[in-house]
């Protein structure tokens, strides 16, 4: 891995090994299911997987970024823009997306939050009701199918005994306010977790106010000792969230709180209304066999007002307008059989399943003007029905071939089919109907060696693939009729080696080195009249190292830390566009150019003092290296390091537990760029992060 800082990495490994040798004890690890689809300790899995649990020191707890900071390899950028979903990437996959989340798989309680075309969202993740978030990185994520650069899965907590009611409120700078109420308990064979959360903000930047209402319900019915039925309901409402858009570098330097003038001119905004339900049936057939069946259905409606100029829409008959009205119905299911027994006298487990996912979108486009009035719905410019579905078969097995060795492997066969029916055919806007199918088989294999009770080593290898999304298929680079069905899916080859250390039940650490080589990755081809088209790039590479540590370094004093160093680059040259009016790729991108959206390094460390009650205190630092913002590599967002402090007091008397807390973030009040909009055609790449902010809150629990 050319130019990697090997000396610091080697020093860190030696330090971890020295600590481990000094205190050899049996490790106590949490249980995860994302890697193997059955409950196992991550310490015994030959893959990089980590768990983020409920924050102990109190937080706003609205954004996924608050939960996963201490996990290496994953970057979740809080964009301070609730009209756009968070930016989520794992080992560089998904970092270049400018709309939604793609390149990684998202789940909530086993229900997909990623659609069959590979595009997803986390806006409906309800953190207040969550028990944990699992993050799987590396080759084994390919067992989840299309766009599996990694997997993020949130799990709602089960009902508790005795029952309890929780109420929380937190607020502070920029008009931030979160209020939530949660009830969870057990009543005979039924357990429940019901939650409602309200969030609103005035926004750090101008024109960035938003409100979000979310509800989540998980109801479990224990039919008998061998069977359980679980119902999961989720609702999200985001009305007219203002979109401040990005800033140019000059605008950011002049005033990071300002917005581009067109955001006010067209009142750029977005509304989201989503409802979904899932039903899971678990059945233990006998001592060796079990069955799990899941089905789900949902609807998501999006209405978005963009800033496309009037002249652009008026002069181009094929332009789809500046208002997007997208109604989506989605659903599917997954059936899995698991067998646990012995083979050759050694523990063996195999899971075999089939999954089906379907999405039907009614996509309409309208002018964002009516006469001289801007920022309103005008004449229709686009009307089509887009459907995508997949049928996947998968199998994976785990075999402990010896006391010190475990083998794990599997494969998934994916068949993803797209169909578009154009219902808006006019002069200058020909029929864009069409269909295409993508098929791939993705094998993975891993091995774990228990070198010592405190040290496990592992290695794995696998293949992955990623289809274009409907948004990327929407327009052809040659400006001809039909969708861009000439785009090919990206295929990747992934390898990883790592160490997992548990020197004691109160301390754990890890190191992972990885490389992923991709063929036919998508990149921007043209950007003309509000239409972005894409092309396949011959080869690209992502490689890096991840370090993590968590442990009690003194009584009631806990340290958590994570560090990621990554190189992400195009391995082959290509042509691209560099301006909004570019009609054909004409500017060369050299081999070796950094992939945009991927920071060179990220880090996080927090020192937390306190137990289950009385005084709590903490100090933390989060850092990010420079991030390229365009394919040419000619502009970038500088790196930064931000410090925060927190404190509070926990009262725990009888049935009452009251957690009072306060936080100050960006203690030095630095102006930094928190996230970037990759390849923005107007060079508005930068989304500023807030300066110094304050938060106070209280969480009350009654049992």
The CATH number of the domain where 363 resides is what? 2.40.170.20
494, with CB counted inside 10 A (0-12, 13-18, 19+), is: buried
Nearest to 363 by CA among 317, 320, 319: 320
Q: How far apart are CA 291 and CA 346, in angstroms?
A: 22
Strand ranges across the sheet with 111-112:
48-53, 130-137, 150-156, 105-108, 111-112
**Residue at 1 is within a domain:** no
CA 167 distance to own-chain centroid = 27
Nearest to 618 by CA among 669, 663, 555, 562: 663
Query: What is the number of other CB atoms lying within 10 angstroms of the CB of residue 459?
Result: 16
Helix (H) or strand (E) holding 664: strand 656-665
**Residue at 110 is within a domain:** yes
Q: Is the pTM of this model over 0.85?
A: yes
Structure confidence at residue 78 (pLDDT): 79
Q: How far apart are CA 315 and CA 171, in angstroms?
A: 47
Nearest to 658 by CA among 671, 666, 645, 649: 649
Structure confidence at residue 19 (pLDDT): 42
Range of the domain at 86: 6-702
E strand intervals along 583-655: 587-589, 601-609, 614-624, 627-628, 636-637, 640-653
CB 638 within 8 A of CB 249: no
Helix-then-strand count for the chain, H and E: 5, 40
Helix (H) or strand (E) holding 254: helix 249-254
Q: How many degrees, rounded to 5, is the angle at CA 298 between CA 297 and CA 300?
A: 160
Structure confidence at residue 658 (pLDDT): 94
State whether residue 650 is helix, strand or coil: strand
Q: How far apart are CA 178 and CA 660, in angstroms?
A: 14
* HEC assignment per residue over 465-526: EECCCHHHHCCCCCCCCCCCCCCCCEEEEEEEEEEEEEEECCEEEEEEEEEEEEEEEEEEEE
Structure confidence at residue 602 (pLDDT): 96
> Which distant-in-sequence residues (6+ apart) come within 8 Å of 500 by Cβ?
42, 43, 455, 456, 457, 458, 508, 509, 510
Structure confidence at residue 59 (pLDDT): 83
**Residue at 244 is within a domain:** yes
CB 139 within 8 A of CB 464: yes
**Residue at 329 is within a domain:** yes
Name the β-bridge partners of 336: 292, 353
State whether residue 290 is helix, strand or coil: strand
Based on the structure, what is the number of domains in the chain?
1
Structure confidence at residue 29 (pLDDT): 54
> Which distant-in-sequence residues (6+ apart) come within 8 Å of 129 by Cβ?
156, 157, 182, 184, 193, 194, 195, 216, 218
Q: How many degrees, rounded to 5, is the angle at CA 585 between CA 582 and CA 587?
A: 95
Structure confidence at residue 613 (pLDDT): 87
> Which distant-in-sequence residues (6+ apart) come within 8 Å of 654 by Cβ?
none
CB 118 within 8 A of CB 466: yes
Local mean pLDDT, 10-residue blocks, the chain (703 residues): 42 43 44 87 94 73 90 90 89 84 91 91 90 94 88 94 94 95 96 97 95 96 96 96 95 94 95 97 96 97 94 83 94 97 96 97 94 94 94 96 96 95 86 91 97 97 93 79 86 96 90 96 79 89 96 92 96 85 84 94 94 91 95 93 95 92 96 91 91 95 93
> Which distant-in-sequence residues (6+ apart) come within 8 Å of 178 by Cβ?
60, 61, 62, 168, 169, 170, 171, 197, 198, 199, 697
């Amino acid at each position: 891995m050319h130019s990697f800082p090997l000396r610091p990495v080697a020093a860190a490994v030696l330090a971890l090994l020295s600590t481990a040798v000094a205190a050899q004890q049996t490790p106590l690890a949490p249980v995860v299911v994302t890697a193997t689809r059955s409950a196992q300790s991550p310490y015994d899995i030959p893959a990089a997987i980590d768990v983020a649990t409920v924050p102990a020191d109190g937080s706003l707890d609205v954004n996924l970024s608050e939960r996963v900071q201490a996990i290496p390899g994953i970057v979740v950028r809080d964009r301070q823009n609730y009209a756009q979903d968070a930016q989520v990437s794992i080992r560089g996959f998904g970092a270049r997306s400018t709309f939604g989340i793609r390149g990684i798989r998202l789940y909530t309680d086993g229900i997909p939050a990623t659609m069959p075309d590979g595009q997803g969202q986390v806006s409906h993740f309800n953190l207040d009701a969550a028990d944990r978030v699992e993050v799987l990185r590396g080759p084994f994520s390919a067992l989840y199918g299309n766009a599996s650069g990694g997997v993020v899965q949130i799990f709602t907590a089960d009902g508790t005994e005795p029952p309890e009611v929780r109420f929380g409120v937190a607020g502070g700078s920029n008009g931030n306010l979160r209020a939530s109420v949660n009830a969870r308990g057990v009543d005979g064979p039924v357990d429940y977790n019901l939650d409602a959360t309200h969030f609103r903000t005035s926004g750090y930047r101008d024109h960035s106010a938003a409100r979000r209402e979310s509800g989540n319900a998980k109801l479990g019915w224990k039919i008998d000792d061998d069977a359980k039925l679980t119902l999961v309901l989720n609702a999200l409402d985001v009305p007219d969230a203002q979109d401040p858009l990005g800033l140019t570098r000059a605008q950011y330097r002049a005033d990071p709180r300002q917005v581009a003038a067109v955001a006010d001119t067209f009142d750029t905004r977005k509304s989201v209304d989503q409802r979904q339900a899932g039903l899971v049936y678990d059945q233990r057939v006998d001592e060796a066999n079990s069955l799990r069946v899941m089905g789900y259905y949902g609807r998501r409606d999006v209405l978005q007002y963009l800033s496309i100029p009037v002249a652009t829409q008026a002069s181009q008959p094929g332009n789809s307008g500046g208002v997007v009205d997208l109604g989506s119905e989605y659903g599917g299911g997954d059936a899995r059989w698991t067998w646990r027994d012995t083979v050759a006298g050694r523990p063996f487990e195999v899971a075999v399943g089939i999954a089906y996912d379907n999405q039907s979108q009614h996509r309409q486009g309208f002018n964002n003007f009516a006469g001289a009035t801007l920022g309103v719905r005008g004449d229709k410019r686009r009307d089509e029905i887009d459907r995508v579905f997949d049928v996947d078969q998968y199998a994976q097995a785990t075999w402990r071939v010896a006391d010190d060795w475990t083998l794990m492997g599997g494969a998934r066969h994916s068949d993803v089919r797209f169909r578009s029916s154009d219902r808006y055919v006019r002069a200058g806007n020909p029929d864009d109907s069409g269909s295409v199918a993508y098929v791939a088989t993705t094998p993975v294999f891993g091995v774990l060696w228990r070198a010592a009770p405190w040290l496990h080593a592992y290695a794995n290898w696998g293949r992955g693939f990623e289809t274009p999304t409907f948004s990327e298929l929407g327009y052809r680079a040659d400006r001809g009729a039909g969708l861009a069905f000439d785009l090919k899916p990206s295929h990747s080859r992934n390898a990883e080696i790592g160490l997992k250390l548990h020197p004691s039940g109160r301390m754990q650490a890890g190191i992972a080195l990885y490389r992923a080589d991709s063929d036919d990755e998508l990149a921007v081809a043209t950007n003309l009249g509000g239409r972005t088209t894409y092309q396949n790039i011959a080869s690209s590479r992502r490689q890096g190292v991840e370090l993590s540590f968590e442990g009690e370094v003194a009584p009631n004093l806990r340290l958590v830390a994570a560090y990621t160093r990554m190189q992400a680059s195009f391995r082959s040259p290509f042509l691209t566009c560099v301006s909004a009016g570019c009609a054909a790729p004409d500017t060369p991108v050299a081999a070796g150019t950094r992939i945009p959206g991927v920071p060179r390094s990220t880090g996080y460390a927090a020192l937390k003092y306190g137990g289950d009650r009385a005084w709590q205190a903490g100090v933390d630092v989060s850092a990010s290296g420079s991030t390229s913002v365009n394919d040419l590599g000619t502009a970038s967002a500088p790196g930064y390091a931000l410090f925060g402090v927190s404190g509070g007091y926990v009262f725990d008397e009888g049935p009452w537990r009251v957690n009072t807390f306060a936080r100050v973030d960006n203690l030095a009040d630095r102006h930094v760029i928190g996230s970037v909009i990759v390849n923005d055609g107007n060079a508005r790449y930068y989304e500023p992060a807030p300066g110094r902010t304050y938060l106070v809150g209280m969480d009350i629990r009654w049992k």
